[in-house]
Amino acid sequence: MAESHEVAVSADLADSLARDDLARAAFERLPDSHRREWVRWVEEAKKAETRAARIARTVRSLHDGTQAR
């Protein structure tokens, strides 16, 4: 039986990805390990401003085709 490795995405990151079809599609195509890396990087931000900047960079990078930070 295959184990599910769903990557939990925060609401703010999910909302930002939902606004950019290319970024969302790129994120969905990533291997779980790469998704977890993007999510971890966003969630490690201590300040709201840093988190917002990281979300924006994540979406922009995925939109442009970058797989890993």
Average pLDDT over residues 33-61: 97
Average pLDDT over residues 17-25: 97
Residues whose CB is less than 8 angstroms from the CB of residue 10 and which lie 6 or more positions away in sequence, other chains included: 39, 42, 43
Residue 2: band (very low, low, confident or very high) from pLDDT cuts 50, 70, 90: very low
Say what the pTM is: 0.88
Residues whose CB is less than 8 angstroms from the CB of residue 54 and which lie 6 or more positions away in sequence, other chains included: 41, 42, 45
- Of 2 and 33, the one with more pLDDT: 33
Chain-centre distance for alpha carbon 5: 15
Q: Is the pLDDT of residue 5 over 90?
A: no
Domains of the chain, residue spans: 11-63
